Structure 1
Amino acid sequence: MVAAFVRRFRPLRVLSALVAAVLAMTLAEFSPASRAPARAASPASPPPADAGPAERPDMVSAQVAAWVEKRRVEVTGLRTESTSTFVNPDGTSTLDAYSGIRRVRQGDGWADVDTTLVVDGGRVVPKVASRSG
């Protein structure tokens, strides 16, 4: 009779021991005594000095620069008239796509479109615009 009684209540004892252990761990985690003392707020660090344009010619050097400089870096080798590709400090990349032409090729580089009108050889033309129009 005693053996049947012990077998019947053994799962209840195990369950109550588990509940007590979980409750003890929860209380220990959230008790004020276990928390580290609050430190005084450190003064905000000044923003980094401007290190020039955040541009690199290829994806690998842009990834390294973004990680080191902790800022977004443009991959100029992937630049087009209507897109810009950036590498973020966390290693992801972002493609900014524009609905129209944002820049045009001039020589070996790019120039932002500037529709300001200027006189050129007796004609009125935009400063920088696509020649396809």
Structure 2
Amino acid sequence: MANHSTITFSIVILISISISSFVAGGLLGGRTKIADVKTNKEVQEMGRYSVEEYNRLRRSTSGNDDGDLTFSQVVEAEQQVVAGMKYYLKIEAFSKTGGDPKVFEAVVEVKPWLRSKQLLKFAPSPPNLLPEW
């Protein structure tokens, strides 16, 4: 049978984990909208990274930069607490060949303790539809 201090310690740990989940942006696994996206430097840098990584990955398979995109801004963002943080971004970008800006959806997973950032998805956003994260 566990002693009183072990049970108390376990309860304190569970409460701490629950509170930190709420403080870090919601329940573990729940997505939360990020406010003030257009002035949030971290979110805008995440969008810039997404476009640059998309261009790098596309060039590595096609061998040219004809379809490269130029980052404009992140227009919407959500975050999800996972084993790290997952960001769901709607990014406005221009084709380097010209034309009007288009909106793309990106998903980036960040694990700060590993110094890891990975682009999981980058695709055109369907017009007037809810995002397919």
- Normalised by the size of structure 1, how large is the TM-score? 0.28
TM-score normalised to the size of structure 2? 0.28
Higher relative contact order (CA 8 A, sep 6+): 2
Larger Rg: 1
